[in-house]
Amino acid sequence: MTDEHQGYKGGLRGAQMFRRRVDQLFDVIDQARPDDDFTGWGNKDVFHNDLVRFKGIDATGYFNLHDDDLRISTDSTLDDTGTPRIWPFRHTVLVPGKDVESDGFGENALQCRMMRSVPMDAARGKARVFSKHMIASDTLVIHKLRGNWRFVAANHYYALVSRSWVDASWWRRTHNGWKNGIELAPKLIIPHALEVNRLSQEINLAMSWSEARKAQWHVEIGRRSGLSFSFATLASRVSGIFKAREIKDGEKRRAALKNWVTDHWRSDAGDPDFEIYVRRHLRGSETFQWGDYFCTVHPSITDLEDAEAAKIEREAMGEQARRLKFAEPAEKPRYRVRALSRAI
């Protein structure tokens, strides 16, 4: 991911603009109340007073911080045996109003979506079709009604049946193909082929996105409780975006945020004639306060695995991790080669 792919422009003005977007988003969340009058979409009682369910939802697209290098696809995620290759998984996303306008909520609406794998027992009493691989899908739409922000919610359960994902929810949809469904058994409705294909593509995309997130760093922004948002970024960009973060009580400067420290050699405090190899590692604070918000830096899973691998390699170096310092030549300056090459 390169800097130009990050919608954040940098500098004081860029940080201020980003802060305003965050404030606007949380203002909408704070004002939203359950839409008790809405009965035409989903199960309106599912998430009342339970917005924390969407904690950490991915708002990268909402903040226009797109990653052009992100590799996601709607191709099938099933292997030759018909088993999902990516399992378990969890995918969340905040969708701007322009993408939900067709549902009748208007262009100012926000839609939170969460799709995750669940054990079969978790769907007991909530689904009518069961399989070894079950998915729970939660959707929350915040929209404006007569000048006030309201939210409605719905949940679905999907089951993998004969290499196809089918809607296993108790309540039966009556639009977009389901109205033409063929009921083959009292508890199993096979939807129209186009609906099966659309649903499979949506689930494949969610799984692919979940897998791609493993290589991304994220920053989560929220209050002490309730709904929070995260966005993908670069490890090198976090400190710049949150340069105006709070200084902890008793401290004179801001604590460094989580970042990579490159491998290097340093003098042995116990014996100045020797130096010790310091492995490449992650260092810095993961949590910090940014105005009224509490933030957490989440390193990528890939980087966490790399840091653990570097730790194991350092332990395996044994005596090679300690060496005599090279003598300084009198007639020319000292040149140092890369640490790892000298260790080898």
Q: Are residues 138 and 42 in the same domain?
A: yes
Provide CB contacts within 8 A for 21, sequence distance 6+.
Answer: 63
What CA–CA distances, in Å, run from 47 to 31, 42, 171?
Answer: 16, 11, 17
User: What's the mean per-residue pLDDT of the chain?
Assistant: 76
Asked if residue 153 belongs to a domain, the reply is yes
List the single range of 12-16, 143-147, 189-193 with lowest mean pLDDT.
189-193
Distance CA 220, CA 299 (A): 11
| One domain for residues 203 and 268 | no
Report d(CA 54, CA 46) in Å as an integer. Answer: 13
Same-domain check for residues 258 and 310: yes
* Residues 200 and 298 grouped into a single domain: no
Place of tokens 């004081």: 12
Q: Which two tokens stand for residue 222?
A: 């929220």
Which residues, 6 or more positions from 50, have their beta carbon under 8 angstroms from its beta carbon?
none
Are residues 138 and 263 part of one domain? no
Beta bridge mates, 257: 285
Reported as a single tens digit per residue, the pLDDT across 228-281 is: 899 888 887 787 778 777 777 777 788 888 999 999 999 988 888 899 999 999
Mark whether 182 and 275 lie in a shared domain: no
Rounded Cα distance between 91 and 71, Å, is 15
Q: Are residues 207 and 261 in the same domain?
A: no
Residue 65, pLDDT score: 66
| Alpha carbon distances (Å) from 105 to 111, 198, 287 | 10, 22, 36
- Given this model, what pLDDT does residue 47 score? 46
In angstroms and rounded to an integer, the radius of gyration of the C-alpha atoms of the chain is 26
CB 20 within 8 A of CB 14: no
Maximum separation of any 2 CA atoms in the chain, in Å: 92
Query: Do the domain assignments include residue 234?
Result: no
pLDDT interval class at 305 (50, 70, 90):
very high
**189 shares a domain with 130:** yes
Let me know if residue 229 belongs to a domain: no
- Percentage of the chain lying above the pLDDT 90 cut: 24
Is residue 161 one of the residues assigned to a domain? yes
What's the rounded Cα separation, in Å, for the pair 322 and 325?
A: 9
Tokens of 212: 């791609």
DSSP assignment string, 36-48: TT--SSS-TTSST
Q: ∠ CA 77-79-84 to the nearest 5 degrees?
A: 50
Which position has the token pair 């939210």? 151
**Domain, as residue range, for 29:** 3-215
The string of pLDDT tens digits covering residues 313-330 is 999 998 888 988 875 555
The β-bridge relationship of strands 264-268 and 322-324 is unpaired
Average pLDDT over residues 159-175: 73
The two structure tokens encoding residue 254: 């801001």
Q: Tokens 């193909």 appear where?
A: 177
DSSP state of 258: S
Tokens of 57: 């939802």
pLDDT digit string, tens, across residues 40-92: 444 444 444 456 778 889 988 888 765 555 677 888 889 999 999 999 999 99
Domain count, the chain: 2
- Residue 238 falls within a domain, yes or no? no
Q: SS3 for 150?
A: strand
Q: Are residues 38 and 113 in the same domain?
A: yes
pLDDT in the model for residue 340: 41
pLDDT of res. 61: 80
**What is d(CA 27, CA 25) in angstroms, rounded to the nearest whole number?**
5
Question: Does residue 44 sit in the same domain as residue 181?
Answer: yes
Return the number of other C-beta atoms located less than 10 Å from residue 198's C-beta. 16
Does residue 200 contact residue 208 with C-beta atoms inside 8 Å? no
In this structure, are 252 and 181 located in the same domain?
Answer: no
Which pLDDT band holds residue 343 (cuts at 50, 70, 90)?
A: very low
Q: Is residue 220 part of a domain?
A: no
Judge whether 230 lies within some domain. no
Per-residue confidence (pLDDT) for residue 176, from 0 to 100: 38
109 falls in which pLDDT band (50, 70, 90)? confident
User: Is residue 236 assigned to a domain?
Assistant: no
175 and 45 assigned to the same domain: yes
What pTM value is reported for the model? 0.75
Q: Is the pLDDT of residue 172 over 80?
A: no
Mapping DSSP to helix (H, G, I), strand (E, B) and coil, where does residue 201 land? helix
